[in-house]
Amino acid sequence: MNGWRPATVVAASMETPTARTLRLQVPDRGRVLAGQHIDIRLTAEDGYQAVRSYSVAAAVGDDLVETTVQELPDGEVSPYLIGDLAVGDQLEVRGPIGRWFIWRSADPAPVQLIAGGSGVVPLMSMIRERESAATRVPFRLLYSLRSPENGYYRDELGRLCSTGSLRVDYVHTRSAPDGRRPGRLTQDELASLVIPVEQKPEFRVCGPTAFVEQCARWLLDLGYPANTIRTERFGG
């Protein structure tokens, strides 16, 4: 569905100390494919407008969408969405948008998801889609984040791991609870954690631009075909 339309904030909760999950009621929302995003438009009293894209983490019922917004302290829009926007407020929404960075539950290939920070948001919609479709296609998530308290959807991911439905490998860049020394993902580590080439996985890689581009280059170096690697860049 194209065109701007009003949406109402019906729930909001802090996902981490610096990220907030918003649930929006979007009339005429239509079908949302796992991995799609919406555009949000804010209009100030003087008519100034700002538009930003946010991935759908979950599409609930006929008219609800959830997203999670990471605060960029010097950003224009994200601090407002986290600190000021209240339940009951209205904003404008366009979408759902995107036909490339999606995953359909009928796809038979094993899926390797790779997230940097808030890049986990659209990947979570794929994980949730897989759960609701009850397909047993193998799914793995490699999730790079600063520290455990920055992890989105921790309880839900933990539950899926404990039932054996999903494998999640965390890479902590600043402080780590596990034996691994904190630090950025390396190519060797990526190679050891992702689904092996011979199993012909499909990749969905999302996060800050530099992270996504580095991971995509490494995957190509490791011999994964370009047409199996789909990426989405959040900026930065």
Q: Which residues bind ligand FAD (CB under 6 A)?
A: 37, 52-55, 67-70, 72, 74-78, 118, 121, 208, 232, 234-236
Amino acid at 232: E
Tell the burial category of 57 from Cβ atoms under 10 Å away from its Cβ (0-12, 13-18, 19+). Answer: buried
Q: Name which of 5 and 52 has its Cβ closer to ligand FAD.
A: 52
Q: Name which of 58 and 121 has its Cβ closer to ligand FAD.
A: 121
Cβ at position 136, least distance to ligand FAD in Å: 27
Distance CA 147, CA 2 (A): 38
Cβ at position 80, least distance to ligand FAD in Å: 8
Q: Name which of 101 and 195 has its Cβ closer to ligand FAD.
A: 101
**Angle subtended by helix axes 154-162 and 120-133, to nearest 10:** 40
Cβ at position 175, least distance to ligand FAD in Å: 19
Cβ at position 110, least distance to ligand FAD in Å: 24
Q: Is the peptide bond before 96 cis (omega within 30 degrees of 0)?
A: yes
Amino acid at 235: G
Q: Name which of 171 and 195 has its Cβ closer to ligand FAD.
A: 171
Q: Name which of 28 and 74 has its Cβ closer to ligand FAD.
A: 74
Tell the burial category of 14 from Cβ atoms under 10 Å away from its Cβ (0-12, 13-18, 19+). Answer: exposed
Amino acid at 5: R
Joined together, the tokens standing for residue 94 give: 């366009």
Cβ at position 122, least distance to ligand FAD in Å: 7
Closest residue (Cβ) to ligand FAD?
A: 75
Distance CA 113, CA 47 (A): 40
